[in-house]
Structure 1
C-alpha cells in the first residue's frame, strides 16, 4: 500500500501562515511514501520565498482544485480552524478530506501521523452522521424524564403568570432550526411586545423596565426556557446544539459573520458549547458562531453529556439572559 501511495500520491493544499505552511509542505514532500503531495499554499502573508504557488483568492483555490485534482487539505496552524472555517467547509463540501496537522508536536504523541507530523481528521462538512441515533436517544430520554419531574413546577409557574400577567402565559415564536427549517419555539411569556415587528426584530429584553418581578425571576433562573423540553421531545430541538434564532436575525447574521449559517448543520439546542462559555444574551455573535461550529465539527455523545452537566451546574448560579 505504501508503494502504491508513493507512486500515485494524493494532491493536497496546505493552509496556514506562510512560513509554517511552507515548512510543513517541504517536510511532507521529503517523504513521498506518505502518499500526499502538496501542490499549493493558501496563505495571507507570503514573503516571496515560498517554493510552491501561494493561493490568496477563492478563484485561485478553485482553479488549483480542478487543475491538480486536490483531495486533501492540510490545516497547519491552530488559528486556521476559526479564521479559515468557511473555506475549510467549502473545501470539505467539494469532496476534500480536511486534516489538522500539528507543525510542532512529534507524531509519537498522536495515533495518526503524516510525514512525522501528528494529525487528525476534521469533519468540516455536514454534522457527523453517527450523531443521529445516539443523540436523539439521549434527547428523548432526558427530556421525557425532566418533563415528568418538573411538570408540577411548570404548572405552578403557569398559574402564577396567569394570576399576575393575565392570559397568554405561553409564548410562541418562529425560530430557524436544522437545515434552515423554521419551527415554533415555546417559552413562558415574560414580556409582551408592542407588536409583531418588535417581537421579530428586537434583540434583547433583558433590561426591559416593564417586566414584573416574577418575569425577571423566570428569566434569571432560566425557568422560562423549560417549556423547550417539549420542543426537544418533539424533535424540533436537541438538548445540546446551537441556540435557535429568529428569521430576521438569521438572515442578518448570515450576511455579516462568516460561518454563522453553518450552525444550522445540526439541530438547534436548549443549551450549547457557546452558552457554557458565557456566550448568551448580548454577547459576540462571531464568538458564538465559532463555538457552535467547533461543537458540530467535534461532536461526541460524551461532549453532550459534559455540556449538560456544566449547564446544570450553571443553573445553580443563574445570571439570566
Structure 2
C-alpha cells in the first residue's frame, strides 16, 4: 500500500517536529514510501546540545525543575527539607564558583583567555581524568548501604584529587602557580564533595529519583557551567561526559548505581519548554518537498 502525498506530508512534518520519532516508525515509513532520503534527513540531525538549550531556557528551566523536584518529593514521600538541602548545597557551590571566576579574571585577561577558553581546556583535561577513572573505579557499588556510602566516598575523593591535578595544569597556562591553583580548588572541593555525597544518599534511598535529581542538578549549575559542567559531568550530571561524544552512562552507573534512560534528557527539556528551531523545521520541509516533487515527476 502506497502512502498518499497529503498523508506523507503530515507524517514527515510530525516527525520533524517530534525529533525523537521511534526507529520502528522510521522503518515503516521507509517501507511504505519511496522517499528514503527523507529518512536520512530525519535520523542524521545535529546532536542535541543539552547545555546550550538549558542556557536558552533560563528561568523557565529553573521553574520546571523546582516543580518536578517537589512533585517527585510528594509522590515518593520524600521530606521537603531533603529537597531544600540538595538545592541549597548546589547553589552554594555555584556561588563559590562565581567567586573563583572573579578571582581568575585578572589572570585570564592578562593572558588573553576567556572563561569559555578555560572551560574547553578543562573539558579536555577532565576527559583524560574520566579515562583514568574508568580504569581505576571498575568495581560496582556494594549492596550494603553502609559499605556503599563508604566506597562511594572513597571513589569521589580519588576522583576529585585527579580533578584538582587537572585544574592545576590548566591554571598553569595563566601563569597561576601550583600552590595558588591548589588553594583555589581546595576552597571549592568541600562543597562539591558534599553535593556528591548528598546526591548519593538521596539516590540510595530513592533510586526512582535518579533521573530528576541528576537533571535538576545539571540545570542548577548552568550559571557557572564553564567550570561545573565539565567537572560534574564526570559524575553523571548531564547527558554526556566532559566532551561531546562521550557518554555519562558509565559515571551514572559507577557513582549512583543506575543510568538515566537514553532520550530522557531531551524529553525533559521539551517538557520544560524547549522548542525545535524553526530553521530546522523549514529545512526538513524544504528538503521533503523537493524530494516529493521529484518523486511525483518520476511516477
Shorter chain as normaliser: what TM range? under 0.3
TM-score normalised by length of structure 2: 0.21
TM-score normalised by length of structure 1: 0.20
Q: Return the structure number with greater strand share.
A: 1
Higher relative contact order at CA 8 Å, sep ≥6: structure 1 or structure 2? 2
Q: Return the structure number with greater helix share.
A: 2
Larger gyration radius, structure 1 or structure 2: 1
